[in-house]
Amino acid sequence: MTDWFQLAYEKEQDMIETRRYLHQYPELSFQEKHTHDYIVERLQKLNFQIDAHVGQNGILARILGEEPGPTIALRADFDALPIDDLKDVPYRSKVPGIMHACGHDGHTSILLTVAELLHEHQSELKGTVVLIFQYGEELTPGGAQEMIADNALMGVDKIYGNHLWTGYPTGTIHTRPGPMMAQPDEFHITLFGKGGHGAKPHETIDPIVILAEFILSAQKIVSRTIDPVKQAVLSFGKIEAGNADSVIPDTATCQGTVRTFDSEVQTHIYHKMDKLLQGLALANDITYSFDYIKGYLPVYNHEASAETVKKAANALNFRYHDSDLMMVGEDFSFYLKARPGAFFFTGCGNPQKETDWPHHSPHFDIDESAMKYAVSTFMKILELEGNF
């Protein structure tokens, strides 16, 4: 039986160099030209059938085995975020205001290493393995839906994806059957009042006070109108109003996010927010705009595939744990709606290496030694699925 962990270990230094190169040259969602070309160039050295333009900027690499077998897809994303890299490391981002603050550079390096192992062991391969390199995961509507619409999953039986996670210790593997990651919706609200002098509030309709009332009342939607055993989050992230201390403005705006696993809970929160706004408008003689943008679907793992991830981790003698429910979102959910499969976390958090910063932090980094765990888990999954 092939020792996939040993083979991944032997490629660790090259994998780290690839990750650090990508980390220095990040590109924003839907703008990933250099990264795209780099991935294609690497794949062209291997025995893959390559479609370099799936959706807008996605890459599909297909390798065929010597004997019949299943067609299994593995996916990585390669976009970055509009964040300044504040780490003091030699491989920090060279692009001002942009960095890989979520581990997508690591995901890409992992899947390129899987590609090398598949190339080297093609004579043992059964069926087909499809590697999906996806653009635009960080920015809705995301790249997954566009790639699926462009036949990225044609002929695919099952699909698996991995996310490096600083919240879990290095060397651990986490997944769970059923719901794992939430649907991340966003909202934008503007209240239209009547501005005037701060010394004469009675001549105005103050949108700031009304917005404050809405924000406080909205906190009761989750805590007092939803079954406590059903998970939901309603958070405000941005508030804007006015530009002078003595002027009551005409408008006040806010933006925020709603996170749910259940479409009924999602709809309930939306209607409660709208009713609150209707009541405030009626009571205060204001008007408002309310834009509610639905995000990615919740990530729902198929039970048999989640069990395969668990078996793979245990067979490799890794530390496996059931994943927590996560309120973060992932457009891998669209692949799982179209095909059976599972998403899993590979722990890369290590306080001694200062890699326990949260995702999307300007200090974010990964314990690069974690990548070999993801590579070998992918390869063991393929073995358990019957590709080896």
Are 182 and 234 contacting, i.e. CB atoms less than 8 angstroms apart? no
Are 365 and 89 contacting, i.e. CB atoms less than 8 angstroms apart? yes
Q: Would you say 268 is a known binding-site residue? A: no
The residue with tokens 């995301």 is 142
Pull the structure tokens for residue 80. Answer: 């970055």
Q: Would you say 254 is a known binding-site residue? A: no
Question: What's the distance, CA 342 to chain centroid?
Answer: 14
Q: Would you say 102 is a known binding-site residue? A: yes
Nearest to 218 by CA among 189, 183, 242, 181: 189
Distance in angstroms (rounded) separating the CA atoms of residues 315 and 317: 5
CA 353, 323, 102, 54 torsion-angle sign = positive
Q: Is 14 helix (H, G, I), strand (E, B) or coil?
A: helix
Are 39 and 115 contacting, i.e. CB atoms less than 8 angstroms apart? no
Q: Would you say 104 is a known binding-site residue? A: yes
CA distance readout (Å), 103 to 38, 176, 351: 17, 21, 17
Catalytic residue among 27, 32, 77, 79: 79
Q: Would you say 100 is a known binding-site residue? A: no
* Residue 79 annotated among the catalytic residues of the structure: yes
What letter represents residue 128's amino acid?
T
Nearest to 80 by CA among 68, 64, 93: 93
**What is the crossing angle of helices 12-24 and 104-120, to 10°?**
140
Catalytic residue among 32, 77, 105, 137: 137
* Burial of 352: CB neighbours in 10 Å, binned 0-12, 13-18, 19+: exposed
Distance in angstroms (rounded) separating the CA atoms of residues 86 and 247: 38
* Burial of 195: CB neighbours in 10 Å, binned 0-12, 13-18, 19+: middle
Active site residues: 79, 137
Binding residues for Mn(2+): 102, 104, 138, 163, 360
Binding residues: 102, 104, 138, 163, 360
